A and B are shown apart, each in its own frame.
Chain A
Amino acid sequence: EAQVTQNPRYLITVTGKKLTVTCSQNMNHEYMSWYRQDPGLGLRQIYYSMNVEVTDKGDVPEGYKVSRKEKRNFPLILESPSPNQTSLYFCASSSTIRDRGETQYFGPGTRLLVL
């Protein structure tokens, strides 16, 4: 089954404790992206990657890091989480082939609470 997976699905942590949210897709997609969802703001892009070893900032990158060492994985790293990073996080992927890649496939979401 074609899918995007994220782990963990729920996470409660404390300020300053480094954490990683994993994202993996099995569709051989080149493009992957992270979004955060906050009430009244919709989803906003954090970072994205066009392919292995190619990453770039989205609209709200402060406080986050990413890496793309393998095509299927795109982890999101919070080096020193703060309460304002409490949010619902989504990973998404898509092909870069024209007329096939305009649709992005989303993971199930990770709900993060930073105390």
Chain B
Amino acid sequence: AQTVTQSQPEMSVQEAETVTLSCTYDTSESNYYLFWYKQPPSRQMILVIRQEAYKQQNATENRFSVNFQKAAKSFSLKISDSQLGDTAMYFCAFMKERRRNDYKLSFGAGTTVTVRA
């Protein structure tokens, strides 16, 4: 079974500053997918960014970027130029390469990010 660990329960950042959230995972798979989901106070799950393990290049989406270290099984999320609307819980999630009947997302416990004005 895959495990996903987010070691930072809470983080606080000043508006316009940068914050980095850590995520490590454990797997014996060679190909897989990694995701960061954002959950604002509305509780909606919003996909922030995704990374395919077979791609060397780190994914970026506007102010959000990842540092994917496959050998270290690490997948950190960097939020640049933090905005008040970034205040949310962030979940790291893992999915094996899809085959047969295994499409499950395995989630970490989440990191609550608070952006201060």
Q: Taking beta carbons and an 8 Å cutoff, which residues of A are in contact with B? A: 31, 33, 35, 40-45, 48, 50, 56, 58-59, 88, 90, 92, 94, 96, 98, 101-104, 106, 108-109, 111
Return the contact of B43 from the options A41, A42, A94, A109 (Cβ within 8 A).
A109
Closest to A99 in B: B52
Residues A42 and B101 in contact, CB atoms below 8 Å apart? no
Return the contact of A102 from the options B37, B44, B95, B108 (Cβ within 8 A).
B95
20 contacts across the A-B interface (CB closer than 8 A): A33-B103, A33-B105, A35-B105, A41-B109, A42-B4, A44-B107, A48-B104, A50-B101, A58-B104, A88-B43, A96-B98, A101-B98, A102-B98, A103-B35, A103-B47, A104-B103, A106-B45, A108-B42, A108-B44, A109-B45
Q: How far is the CA of A58 from the CA of B1 in the complex (A)?
A: 12
Q: How far is the CA of A75 from the CA of B44 in the complex (A)?
A: 19
Q: How far is the CA of A58 from the CA of B114 in the complex (A)?
A: 32
Residues B109 and A40 in contact, CB atoms below 8 Å apart? yes
For the complex formed, measure the closest distance between the CB of A92 and the CB atoms of chain B, giving whole angstroms. 8
Given contacts A96-B103, A101-B98, A109-B43, 16 further A-B contacts (CB under 8 A): A31-B103, A33-B105, A35-B105, A40-B109, A42-B109, A43-B91, A44-B107, A45-B105, A50-B101, A50-B103, A58-B104, A101-B103, A102-B95, A103-B50, A104-B105, A106-B37
By secondary structure, the A interface counts as strand
Interface size in chain B (residues, C-beta < 8 A) = 23
Inter-chain contact total with CB atoms closer than 8 Å: 60
A-B interface, 4 closest residue pairs, ranked by CB to CB distance from nearest: A42-B107, A106-B45, A43-B107, A109-B43
Q: How far is the CA of A41 from the CA of B37 in the complex (A)?
A: 15
For the complex formed, measure the closest distance between the CB of B38 and the CB atoms of chain A, giving whole angstroms. 11
Residues B33 and A33 in contact, CB atoms below 8 Å apart? no
Residues B44 and A109 in contact, CB atoms below 8 Å apart? yes
Note all chain B residues with C-beta closer than 8 A to A101: 98, 103
